[in-house]
Amino acid sequence: MIKSDRLDFIQTRLDELYPKTPVPLDHRSHFQLLIAVLLSAQCTDVRVNKVTPSLFAVADNAEKMQKVSEKVIYDIIRPCGLAPKKSKAIVELSKILVTKYDGFVPKQLSQLEELPGVGHKTASVVVSQGFGIPAFPVDTHIHRLAQRWGLTKGKNVIETENDLKKAFPQKSWNKLHLQIIFYGRDFCTARGCDGRKCEICTTCYPKRKKPFVANKP
């Protein structure tokens, strides 16, 4: 199967499996989404969704959050991992949002990436899922699947992101990145599929005989 046929099949099949793509992280504002995405680093969305109600009960916006001590935040978000760094980042970015952006979350990638604890992937998720601006956040699931499906040979998530942006229409990015994540969790897991088991892998590469080893991000 040539690449263009793989692209068509992948997009069609993902649309069939996931016609709707709800945002996995519970939130009621751009600020809450930003905090939830920050907490999701090296943590599951399920666990984040269990933690954020307690955190947002204490402070649900930047104005309130900047006044909360790191210790209080740490104690709440500890189950998410990396709590010392995340609690410090939450307080610091809240102060910046208040002083520089009147408490609002900016929608520009460059401005988001300047905030403490916010990298390119986190910023991309916020603009995509929060503001509806086309972006293609690449996490470990997408990085793994894109390689298994022959869409990239990227050695890191930035290279993979660039390849996927070239491969798919911009209007599909926001929905597609979630569809790939969902499929990776449901069918093409790191251990459950080695590039020869799930439907998309076997359709794209029916003659693949050896386990596919993806470049780690």
- The amino acid occupying position 183 is Y
Q: Is 102 a catalytic residue?
A: no
Instruction: Output the six-digit token pair for 26.
Output: 């519970």
Of residues 8, 64, 86, 121, which has the active-site annotation?
121
Q: Is 121 a catalytic residue?
A: yes
- Which residue in this structure is represented by tokens 């307080």? 91
Of residues 5, 50, 95, 139, which has the active-site annotation?
139
DSSP string, 50-103: HHHHHHHHH--SHHHHTTS-HHHHHHHHGGGS-HHHHHHHHHHHHHHHHHHHTT
CA 73 to chain CA centroid, nearest Å? 22
* Pairwise CA distance, residues 187 & 10, whole Å: 13
Contact status, residue 115 vs residue 93, Cβ threshold 8 Å: yes
* Pairwise CA distance, residues 142 & 85, whole Å: 25
Instruction: Output the six-digit token pair for 104.
Output: 């609002």
What are the residue numbers of the active site? 121, 139
